[in-house]
Structure 1
Amino acid sequence: MKPSTTYLHLLRKTPFFAELNTAQLRWTIDHSHEWEAQIGAVIVDCTTAGSTEDVWILLDGGWQVESGARTYPAGHADPGKWFSAAHAADDCRLVATEHSYVMKISGADMRDMLSLGFAFDAHLDAGRQYYRKLFGPRSVQR
């Protein structure tokens, strides 16, 4: 993966960030890292993830969670549009399925964003339900 530039006007159109105001979008840009991922790029390997609390958001393109012999694809408007190793099986990987742009937000910054009232609850709740169906209830409590 290679670093990419986050543009406010494009971020505003991304489903995960569509409800944020301009100040919140700028805060997001200042507290995140955007990456360009080619097809097949491993975005997260759950066995070696530096922090399981980091949150990855699919801005454009597609990705899939791979766990064992199973794959779970998602697009930027699906419940699986965000990913955190804390909500997945220990042996999983997050892999780009097409040319994609992804954003990494640290767990600490995500907690700050939520405490500041960023409107992510519906997206996070839908994702938690999705990952609970895939990995069981313990995945949401890790």
Structure 2
Amino acid sequence: MKPSITYLHLLRHTPFFTSLSTEQLRWVIDHSREWETEAGSVIAKVDQTGASATDYWILLDGEWRVHYDGSTFPSRHAAPGKWFNIREAQGANCALITTEHSYVMRITEADMNTMLEKGFAFGHHLDDGRLYYGSMFHSNSQPLGPSGH
């Protein structure tokens, strides 16, 4: 992964951030880090340690897949799996890996909590993702698709 610049005009059109004001988008840019990745880049995995182990990852462009229990679960930037936090796996052995040239954003857990406290409109994205990851890690059924069914 290599550092990348986050541009406000592009972030404004990224599904996770479309409900934010210009002021909120600037706050996100000032409190996050964007990375450019190649296919096969490991973004997060269950055995990660340290402060970054609970960070939030947002897929800005491209595709990533959660590798879990012999299966892979792809997501693009408009799907419920467009964000990931290793806590969603609740200890399951998994890894989040890009499948093509992609751009991802890391937001620390503390900064995400601050954004939520400030009323940033992430709730429906986080809820959709939790439902998606819950179906992946805690049932024998396939994860819900983008439509939620």
TM score, norm. by length of structure 1:
0.93
Equivalenced residues, count: 137
- Distance in 1 (CA, whole Å) between partners of 2:55 and 2:6 is 18
Structure-1 residue corresponding to 2:145: none
Distance 1:79 1:49, change over 3 A: farther
- Distance in 2 (CA, whole Å) between partners of 1:91 and 1:47 is 8
Asked whether the equivalents of residues 24 and 118 of structure 1 are also in contact (C-alpha less than 8 Å), the reply is yes
- Structure 2 unpaired stretches of 5+: 140-149
Structure-2 residue corresponding to 1:107: 109
Larger mean Cα displacement after TM superposition, 51-60 or 3-12: 51-60
Pair 1:117 & 2:108 matched: no
Q: Deviations over 1:66-113 (max 9, x none)?
A: 013111000000000000000014311100011000000001100000
Structure-1 residue corresponding to 2:136: 134
- Structure 1 unpaired stretches of 5+: 138-142
- Distance in 2 (CA, whole Å) between partners of 1:116 and 1:93 is 30
Pair 1:48 & 2:51 matched: no
Distance 1:52 1:86, change over 3 A: farther
- Distance in 1 (CA, whole Å) between partners of 2:49 and 2:29 is 22
Asked whether the equivalents of residues 92 and 137 of structure 2 are also in contact (C-alpha less than 8 Å), the reply is no
Structure-2 residue corresponding to 1:62: 63
Q: Deviations over 1:118-141 (max 9, x none)?
A: 00000000000000000118xxxx
- Distance in 2 (CA, whole Å) between partners of 1:40 and 1:52 is 19
- Distance in 2 (CA, whole Å) between partners of 1:73 and 1:52 is 21
- Distance in 1 (CA, whole Å) between partners of 2:49 and 2:118 is 27
Matched-pair identity in %? 58
Asked whether the equivalents of residues 47 and 90 of structure 1 are also in contact (C-alpha less than 8 Å), the reply is no
- Distance in 2 (CA, whole Å) between partners of 1:90 and 1:106 is 21
Superposition RMSD in Å: 1.2
Residue 48 of structure 1, CA deviation:
1.7
TM score, norm. by length of structure 2:
0.89
